[in-house]
Amino acid sequence: MLPYFFDTCCIAKRISTKKPAFALTWLCTVILSNMLLMDSATSAITSPLEVSKEYQRSLDEHRTISSTRGRQSGKRFTPYWAAQIDGGEEAAKDLASKYGFIYLGEIMPGIYHFKHQRVAKRSPHQNLFHQNQLYFDRKVRWVEQQVAKVRVKRDIYQPPPNDPSWPRMWYLNRGGPGGIDMNVRSVWARGYAGQGVVVTILDDGLETDHPDLKPNYDRYASFDVNSNDENPDPRYVERDFRNINRHGTRCAGEVAAAANNSICGLGIAYKARIGGVRMLDGDVTDAMESRSLGHNLQHIDVYSASWGPEDDGRTVDGPGKLARMAFRNGILKGRGGLGSIFVWASGNGGKYDDNCNCDGYTNSIYTLGVSSASEHGTIPWYAETCSSTLAVTYSSGGQGEKGVVTTDLNHTCTDSHSGTSASAPLAAGICALTLSANPRLTWRDLQYIVIYSARPDGLYTNDWRVNGVGRRVSHAFGYGLMDAAAMVDLALNWTTVPTQRICEIHAPLPRSPLKMRHHASERLQLETDGCLSNEAGDPSQAVVYLEHVQAKVTLTSDCRGEVELWLTSPMGTVSKLLSKRPFDLDVAGFHAWPFMSVHFWGEMANGTWTLTVHSGNAVVSLIGWSLSLYGVSSKPPFHPSSRQQLQPREYRERELHPLSSMLDEQLVGGSASLPQAPIPFIPKESPSFSPAGYAVEYEDKPPPPPPVPPPFGSDFLDPWSDSEEVSGGFQLKPKWYINHNLLQALYAVPPKRANGVSSASAGHSPYHGGGPAYPGGYGLERLNSPRKSPSQIQPSPPAALWQRMDLTRQSAVKSVKSSWKDDNSATALWTSQVFAIFYIFLCLFV
């Protein structure tokens, strides 16, 4: 603001001292010219289209910091920063000292963690002063002030036990009715107890001197991210049983409590090394999560996490940019390239009808999502159901059912550990037993072994279905109860799975969003050959046998919790991606949210996929969707034969409960009526869309994380918006993006496709679904320099996200105009002129 003010005042002073009348005339001219300048972007546009409230809300969510003057609604900014810095650790320390920051350490190669003591611990305003100090330094390539996230521990609060006697560890040596347990004792009898395996608990600390943990404690697998030191001991809180930091110590005892020492019980992998990362005792930021997930990758084998976003039935949240990079880094480089094992609790939101597919940690392909079964094989009241859960272990149940025995604070023990918080460490312990039998297993090998060995016997729900390869699977229990002995047997005879492939199939963009009224159902279909046609007919590059399947959906709704989603595979398996969430009254909808299912594991990828959307008691606008198929091109080890070859089709259909009958029973009480043909705006063939999508070879590496949506509003140039793998770690790649629709509106640049051919000459409009669909792309133009003129730009395919919102030339410019008026620079300009007027009047009349 000051440069505008002083420039205007200096000129005004020189004129007013000689010609006061002319000074007023000059000042009015300046003000009028600035008014014309601010409106010039839309002066040539007439009759702009009205953007609906739903679309405007979507745009408002992507407003940049400058349009809100440093404040972002609902966010709590912390005194921590993450920055990518050239020159290594010494350069990072020098910059910290130069600008008054405290250097906290390296998050991952090339990215460093800072803290500033003079910044408030929690503030709704971003500290732009300190942000810009780092941003404008020549050695800094990217910087971000960290935002505090809500992360809750997934245990169930129960009062301390009154019974001083210790019950037997029923989940290991007895099981429920019929004698079913997790089959651990036979593994111990064969000599496997977790030797040579290191497990780390990501939580609120670990009592390192606990007599049942001390024999197996590993300081190299431990760190305190909250206090930035090497001691993970918890902070002791008295007289507050709900916030006491006992959670991590309890989880650690389930994995590796020592055996035969007459203290408490024993861990599943009682000879494994155990460590803890204290990171939940305070504000949790993206940088803190990233440091925790990436701690000592070459030393730690298994990371166990029993926490996540709030399980309140209305939150949709997941890992941030740095945490996603940490997951990828662990998968690609952890355990010497075999991949770190991330075990995650699926959540305790069952009381609120929450769905763990709205949790970006449990629905990641990189994590092994684990839920709970009660002592009697029923669904616990707290358990969430979703299609991303792989398997379950035993945990607490309802009134009168037993909990889990483990270590507790102050050198004590407990038999009341509970929730999915207790399930994840048990699963981590079984994974440690498996790795002790075969340490060469990759992260994908272990997921295969869990699915192949899990037992549905003794687990009671009416949700069991049989998928296309004959496996029973449930939204409540996944593939069943984890079986330690069966996993070790498979591990000893395992052959590494083939290279992972990925096939992306994008639905052609509609001319306008598909509107759905109350209690409406729509079936959207996509066809694919597993990306075989995009790889010159080479079957070794296509997805033939499936692993994970993600449906990325973008929609708006006046009540998000009413929306339900199903996905049907070409082999007839129906997986419910999203169930009703009565407490979710949000109107934001979903923006390319990945709903993941593991129910199609082993099935054939080629054929017709069907996404069924039910609106419930809400109005829904479906903007777009796509499929990500992960799998292999050749038959994996121990793959069963397809059930089409074993059973007649009539039997398979009766077992699977066709989609129409499921909707009749579960949605509208028998009144559902579904169209039999695909909706008109999804053609099977398009001049710019290949139904087969595309395939990518990853050489046993996972695909990159989903792209971050581009920013909207006044700052539509976004550097450092992507990442690439470089030697020694990940580097944030400098890219400059500008929206092609915006260029056409402002500079009348004719739309072109990637090869430079005009869309008009190609015979289809780029704004109504005719443009090519690029995987993960938004039709954004990459420039080598942000200062290129429009004539130098080679336009890319039209912006897919703008197409989905039906933002044409007029509405795009209207949005930019509203953003410009909110910009800080415009505010500074008008403020300076007000001060200038006041100053001239002082010069004239005082």
H helices of 635-773, in order, are 649-656, 659-666, 740-747
Phi and psi, residue 711, nearest 5°: -75, 155
10-21: average pLDDT: 52
Dist CA 584 CA 607 (whole Å): 34
- Catalytic, 639? Answer no
What string of H, E and C letters represents the secondary structure of 190-250? Answer: CCCCCCCCEEEEEECCCCCCCCCCHHHECHHHCEECCCCECCCCCCCCCCCCCCCCCHHHH
pLDDT digits (tens, 9 = 90+) for 720-750: 333 444 333 444 433 333 333 433 333 333 3
- Assess if residue 110 is contained within a domain: yes
pLDDT band at 263 (very low <50, low <70, confident <90, very high): confident
| Buried/exposed code over 159-173 (b: 16+ C-beta within 10 A; e: otherwise) | eeeeeeeeeebbbbe
- Rounded Cα distance, 326 and 286, in Å: 10
**List 340, 371, 395, 421, catalytic entry:** 421
Which domain-ending residue is among 125, 147, 169?
147
Q: Does position 197 have pLDDT exceeding 70, yes or no? A: yes
pLDDT digits (tens, 9 = 90+) for 153-178: 655 544 433 323 335 688 887 754 55
Q: What per-residue confidence (pLDDT) applies to 108?
A: 86
**Angle in degrees, 0-180, between the axes of helices 443-453 and 419-437, rounded to the nearest 10:** 110
Do 337 and 384 fall into the same domain? yes
pLDDT value for 645:
33
What residue numbers bound the domain in which 282 lies? 180-492
**For range 110-114, the mean pLDDT:** 92
CA distances from 461 to 120, 300, 334, 424, 456 (A): 50, 36, 37, 21, 10
Query: Does 548 share its domain with 631?
Result: yes
pLDDT at site 710: 38
Is there a single domain that holds both residue 385 and residue 407? Answer: yes
Poorest-pLDDT segment among 105-114, 389-398, 684-693: 684-693
In a domain, 69, yes or no: no
* Interatomic CA distance for residues 504 and 506, integer angstroms: 7
Cα–Cα distances (Å) from 773 to 534, 631, 654, in that order, read 14, 22, 37
pLDDT at res. 400: 78
Q: Per-residue pLDDT averaged across 559-567, rounded?
A: 97
The three-state secondary structure class of 144 is strand
Lowest mean pLDDT among 67-71, 378-382, 462-466: 67-71
Q: Does the annotation mark 721 as catalytic?
A: no
Cβ atoms 533, 734 nearer than 8 A = no
Residue 817 lies in a domain: no
Whether 813 is covered by a domain: the verdict is: no
Name the active-site residue from 16, 58, 67, 203: 203
For the ranges 187-201, 537-551, 735-749, the lowest mean pLDDT is seen at 735-749
CB 427 within 8 A of CB 483: no
Read off the pLDDT of residues 696-713 as tens digits, 9 standing for 90 and up.
333 343 444 444 443 333
| 753 & 654 share domain | no
Q: Where are the alpha helices (DSSP H) in 40-156?
A: 53-61, 88-99, 128-135
| Residues 9, 116 share a domain | no
CB atoms within 10 A of CB 822: 17
pLDDT at position 163 is: 28
Question: Among residues of the chain, what percentage have pLDDT more than 90?
Answer: 52
Report the pLDDT value the prediction gives residue 244, as an integer from 0 to 100: 81
| Cα–Cα–Cα angle for 599, 777, 368, rounded to 5 degrees | 30
Q: Which of 82-91, 598-607, 692-701 has the highest mean pLDDT?
A: 598-607
Residue where a domain stops, chosen among 469, 492, 515: 492
Q: What is the mean pLDDT of residues 61-78?
A: 53
How many domains would you assign to the chain? 5
Question: Is 816 part of any domain?
Answer: no
Mean pLDDT over the full length of the chain: 74
Report the length, in residues, of the chain.
Answer: 846
> Do residue 333 and residue 434 come from a single domain?
yes
Q: Are residues 380 and 374 in contact, defined by beta-carbon separation less than 8 angstroms?
A: yes
Q: Do 288 and 341 fall within a single domain?
A: yes
CATH number (domain holding residue 484): 3.40.50.200
What SS3 string covers 419-458? HHHHHHHHHHHHHHHHHHHCCCCCHHHHHHHHHHHCECCC
Q: Is 421 a catalytic residue?
A: yes
Q: Are residues 761 and 667 in the same domain?
A: no
- Tens digit of pLDDT for each residue in 611-662? 999 999 999 999 999 999 999 999 998 887 533 333 332 322 222 233 333 3
pLDDT at 431: 98
Query: Is 274 a member of any domain?
Result: yes
Q: Is the pLDDT of residue 461 over 90?
A: yes
Residue 579: strand, helix, or coil: coil
Same-domain check for residues 684 and 543:
yes
How much is the average pLDDT of 819-824? 43
Please state, in angstroms and rounded to a whole number, the distance separating the CA atoms of residues 257 and 411. Answer: 12
Judgement on whether residues 512 and 659 belong to the same structural domain of the protein? yes
Question: Helices 2-16 and 20-39: crossing angle, nearest 10°?
Answer: 150
Residue with tokens 């910290």: 96
Pick from 32-46, 478-492, 645-659, 748-762 the range whose average pLDDT is largest.
478-492
Question: What per-residue confidence (pLDDT) applies to 560?
Answer: 96
The whole-angstrom separation of Cα 846 and Cα 839 is 10
812 falls within a domain? no
In this predicted structure, what is the pLDDT of residue 32?
52
Q: Which is more confidently placed, 281 or 656? A: 281
Mean per-residue pLDDT, 270-295: 95
CA distances for 437 relative to 268, 269, 338, 450, 485, angstroms: 14, 12, 15, 14, 11
The CATH number of residue 551's host domain is: 2.60.120.260
Give the span between the Cα atoms of 744 and 131, in whole angstroms: 33
Whether 581 shows a pLDDT value over 90: the answer reads yes
Residue 111's nearest CA partner among 131, 126, 91 is 91
For residue 51, is it within any domain? no
Q: Is the separation of the CB atoms in 298 and 336 below 8 Å?
A: yes
Of 510 and 564, which is predicted with more confidence? 564
Q: Which of 113, 210, 247, 599 is catalytic?
A: 247
Q: In the listed set 132, 147, 162, which residue is the last one of a domain according to the structure? A: 147
Same domain, 10 and 131: no
Compute and round to an integer the Cα radius of gyration of the chain.
29
Mark whether 471 and 590 lie in a shared domain: no
What pLDDT sits at residue 362? 96
Distance CA 552, CA 578 (A): 12
Q: Are 454 and 153 in contact (CB under 8 A)?
A: no
* Secondary structure of residue 94 in the 3-state scheme: helix
